[in-house]
Amino acid sequence: MTVKTLFACLAALTLLATASCKKKDGGEQAQTNNPLATTLVLADRSDVDNFNPVISSTVPGGNAISMIYPSLLGGTFDTANGYLVYEPAVAKSWTIAPDFKSITYNLRGDVKWTDGTPLTSRDFKFSYELYGDPIIASARQDYLEDLVKLRGKDGKPTEQVDFDKAILAPNDTTLIFNFEKPLAKSVIEFKTSLTPVPKHVWEKVDRKEFRTHELNSNPTVSCGPFKFKEWKRQQEFTVVSNPDFNVPAPAKIPTVTMRVIPDYTVQLTQLKTGAIDVMDGIKPEDAIKIEKENPDIDIKIVKYRTYSYLMLSNIDCEAYQNGKQIKPHPLFGTKKTRLAIAMAIDRERILDGYYFGKYAEIMTSPISPAFKWAFNGDIKPYPYDMKRAKELLAEDGWKMGSDGILERNGKKFSFTLVISKGATASEYMSPIIQQSLKELGIDCKIETMEFNTFVEKGRKHALDASLNGLSIGLEIDLMPTFGSDLDKAAFNSAGYVNKRVDELNKLGQAKLTREEAAPYWKEFQKIFHDDVPFVPLFWGSRIVGFNKRVIGEKPDILSIYTDLDKWTLSTMPAHAELK
Amino acid sequence: MFSYVLRRILAAIPLIFGVLTLTFFIIRLAPGDPASFFIQPGVSPKVAEQMREQYGLNDPLLVQYVKWLGNVLQGDFGRSFSRHRPVFEVILEAVPITLTLAVIGIAMEFIFGILLGVISAVKQGTLLDRSLTVGALVIYSMPEFWLSLMLIIVFSLKLGWFPASNLNSVGADSLDTFDYLLDRLHHLVLPIFVLSLGGTAGLARYVRGQMLEVIRQDYIRTARAKGLSERVVIFKHALRNALLPVVTILGASLPALFSGALFIEVIFAIPGMGRITVDAIFSRDYPLIIANTFISGTLIVLGNLLADVLYAVVDPRIKLN
């Protein structure tokens, strides 16, 4: 019996293996019958959180939403000048009031939700009310912070938006936003571009049940180049082209499936076998191999959206833990010491070794070089100069101890550099940094920490030094990373405090044109270079692999799925393309 | 027997509550909380605080505990913070997947483990026995994630025989039931292979030891003296007795049936209990972590009870008391 079972199992396995081989051979020629020929298969490490633009706060969620929901304005990133340019979408045209305190949109009247109900200005107004509701706690509620506010008894604006005055929808195709103060044109366009949800569907839902409502996982009424088909949680979601979409047209690829594949190596294998068409976040070492060995895969890079840096706490962590006192850090509290460390790191070596000289660029300041109008090109990277680094440390009072470790006032220059678990670039860089610091007479230990703990400790200023990465927004805002109010500046883990930077941020954001704002951002970069709040390392490129059957892809700083509705597949039979 | 089982179950209740209480406090000691997820670039800074308020995390710890205890006593384990659905709904979705994987895995483990154990014992000291012993040790000490990746590279990337991840192919919904099941099985071959390999090796060693002990017994000599064929002696007389302790291992496998195979589910992108547990821990999803602990804790207690009861059922010398 047991022997029989063994043979039965072996036979079954053989049968399965043969079946798979058959399928593979057949797949090539029978393009018309094979659903894969007309399905674009994407992959992500984690699942969509929900399909509701008001509450989604994950990247996969955002990607899914952009496929099935409309937007007031379309956007492309003007790489020549370095800013976002808005184009008509649901809005045909728009005018900004001369006082820069109001914008009026003129909407197309012929756009419909998938259930046939017209999309009107009231959908937008209603959606903004949802975005602003504290019970719903939308991740994008700060888009509303400049809208006209309710007045208190003293006549001063309160925290709450006065929706009756801030957003007006006098008829189906007119939508007006009013602001408390004049804002730059780009800021007005950015802050009024939140994705709408259908009013006629969501107005029946109690706000308390909004986050848990079934429609969040089954968006039956939508209005985008694709429409929702199915979500198998933690496995995949599928959207299909929406034949009725007219802003500007239905998606050309009939079906798109996004699969959840948490493991990096498995995802890479799937890209190589053709089981998935697109993979984001390929490591430089794998990209190099793919370029050599996999002619069926195109490697594309997107620059200047994320940077890495060596965080050296400016403030004494212990003093901050005990009653939030701001005192200089005993080791990294002075500019000279931080500058010395910056000059002791051989970035070129890391660039060549980890990034193969082409998947990153040495960073000079946290303003992205993509924002050409604001980027200060006069600033040059800190040179790799061990001699000068040693001089700087000596000038700052550090003397070599008998054990070869620097000391000052009896305190040894010894610290722990913390890196996040699984951050391969940090794993590569940390021993090189450790070695360089050893040459200076600095004792640096390396500790790896679980990601959540790493982030939490960084935010609470409990780490002396760490290797961090940060992704930037498309509008410049220095406050989250450099704001002096450490309670509010969630990413200022170095505890950098400089009132002039706060001022510059205010001044830069208050200017109505980029030309007027640019000098403030450039001044900030000069200050950054002089103060060394942290040691800038690299602008890492996002590396994306595309199966060559994908046509029309053009990943940019906005998204790797830019213009997904216009992509096609070379395996698609001509009639499958929906026009 | 009945009173014994009842007593054991009653004794388990405070034990499980103790475990849940410990979990409740220990998980809150870990840095970060579920609302930390909302502190990220591009998310309004107010959200974390609003969510903390909604999750009731601003209450003092003892108040949170009392509220939680009240709900649990009414059978309400709450809603998952990360998935915004009742925790048992999340778990119920994952259990069938984990169960399929585990049942097939355990079946394979027992079939091949017993078979190889018997062969090894019968051929004791031969080259075959030694190779099986060494092979079992090598397999037993191989890390699951490494083996999984190696198998994926060989069978998926190089040979293209089996898919590397997920439960079905893209577009499998359009297949008829038989083809759909075949497609599902095809996807499960590699994960089940890894899942059962370690257990098979362990079980084979266990069965071999038991068999060797039994083969030396007088009743086996008697059976041989009666002129019975070696096959009957081994399979009818020896194996039956050697399997007595093995049966209890079934009881111990019960928690594994539901708790899921952590690494395998993550690597092969299978949305079972293992992945839910890992995700819940990383996102500090307290209600989901506690519900998972409740399920695995209960199953461990029940599994042990089942093992004891089974032992008494199959071996009349054991009396439950």
| pLDDT > 70: percent of chain A | 93
Q: Of A157, A452, A230, which is closest to residue B280 (Cα–Cα)? A: A452
Least confident of A14-18, A272-276, B114-118, B229-233: A14-18
| Torsion-angle region of A274 (φ positive above 0: left; ψ -120 to 50: alpha; else: beta) | left
Residues B248 and A403: their CA atoms lie apart, in Å, by 61
Instruction: Render pLDDT for B92-125 as a digit per residue (tens, 0 to 9).
Output: 888 888 888 888 888 888 899 889 988 988 888 8
Q: How far is A116 from chain B (nearest CA, A)?
A: 28
Q: Among A2, A140, A260, select the one facing B115 at the smallest CB separation.
A: A2
pLDDT of residue B308: 81
Whether A419 has a pLDDT exceeding 50, the answer reads yes
Question: Best residue in B29, B47, B211 to probe A by mutation, most A CBs within 10 Å?
Answer: B47
Closest CA to A285 of A430, A466, A422, A428: A428
Q: Looking at per-residue confidence, does A278 or B52 come out higher?
A: A278
Which of the following CATH numbers is that of domain A303-540: 3.30.360.10, 3.40.50.11930, 3.40.50.9100, 3.10.105.10? 3.10.105.10
Half-sphere exposure of A352 (CA within 13 A, CB side): 3
Residue B256 and residue A536: Cα distance in Å, rounded?
A: 48
Query: Nearest 5 degrees, angle CA A234-CA A237-CA A241?
Result: 175
User: Is the distance from CB of A571 to CB of A37 less than 8 angstroms?
Assistant: yes
Q: B44: pLDDT confidence band, cut at 50, 70 and 90?
A: confident
Q: What is the pLDDT of residue A18?
A: 41
Chain A residue numbers with beta carbons less than 8 Å from the beta carbon of B115 are 2-3, 6
The CATH classification number of A1-69+224-277+549-579 equals 3.40.190.10
CB A308 within 8 A of CB A537: yes
Q: Do B54 and A212 touch (CB under 8 A)?
A: no
Distance CA B215, CA A434 (A): 62
Set of chain B residues whose Cβ sits within 8 Å of the Cβ of A134: 46, 50
Instruction: Identify the DSSP state of B1.
Output: -
pLDDT at B79: 86
Q: Are B35 and B48 in contact (CB under 8 A)?
A: yes
CA A232 to chain centre: 25
Mutate to test the interface with A, among B166, B211, B285 (most CBs of A within 10 A): B166
Q: What is the DSSP string of B39-57?
A: -STTS-THHHHHHHHHHTT
Task: Say how far apart CA A340 and CA A336 lie, in whole Å.
Answer: 6
**Given its phi and psi angles, is residue A137 left (phi above 0), alpha (psi -120 to 50 degrees) or beta?**
left
> Are A49 and A61 contacting, i.e. CB atoms less than 8 angstroms apart?
yes
Residues in chain B within 8 Å Cβ distance of A28: none
Chain A positions touching B82 (Cβ under 8 A) are: 49
- Give A191's contacts in chain B (Cβ within 8 Å): none
Whether the per-residue pLDDT at A3 is higher than 50: the answer is: no
pLDDT band at A577; cut points 50, 70, 90:
low
Tell me the sheet residues that pair with A257: A41, A238
Q: Give the tokens for residue A540.
A: 């890492």
Residue A43 CA neighbour count, 13 Å, CB half: 30
Which residues in chain B are closer than 8 Å to A218, comparing Cβ atoms? Answer: none
ipTM value, please give it: 0.81
Closest-CA residue of chain A to B267: A263
Q: What is the pLDDT of residue B228?
A: 85
Hey, are the CB atoms on B40 and A57 less than 8 Å from each other?
Answer: yes
Beta strands in chain B (DSSP E): none
Distance between the two ends of chain B, CA-based, in angstroms? 8
Report whether B276 contacts B91 (CB < 8 A).
yes
Range list of β-strands (E), A377-484: 399-400, 406-408, 411-412, 414-420, 443-449, 465-471
Whether A533 shows a pLDDT value over 70: the answer reads yes
Q: Please report where in the chains the tokens 């089996």 appear, as a residue.
A: B162
Mind telling me how many Å the CA of B42 is from chain A's nearest CA?
7
Task: Please report, for residues A114, A143, A242, A346, A347, the alpha-carbon distance to residue A192 in angstroms, rounded to integers and kept in the order given.
Answer: 23, 8, 25, 44, 41
Give the pLDDT band of residue B54 (cuts 50, 70, 90): confident
Q: What percent of chain A is modeled with pLDDT above 90?
A: 80
pLDDT 10s digits, A23-35? 443 333 334 467 8
CA-based nearest residue in chain A for residue B282: A452
Q: Which CATH number fits domain A70-218: 1.50.10.10, 2.130.10.10, 3.30.70.100, 3.90.76.10?
A: 3.90.76.10
C-alpha torsion angle, residues B232, B233, B237, B239 (rounded to 10) = -90
**How do the domains of chain B map onto residue ranges?**
93-252
Ranges of each domain in chain A: 1-69+224-277+549-579, 70-218, 303-540
Per-residue pLDDT of A109-137, as tens digits, reads: 999 999 999 999 999 999 999 999 988 98
Tokens of residue A360, six digits: 């990153």
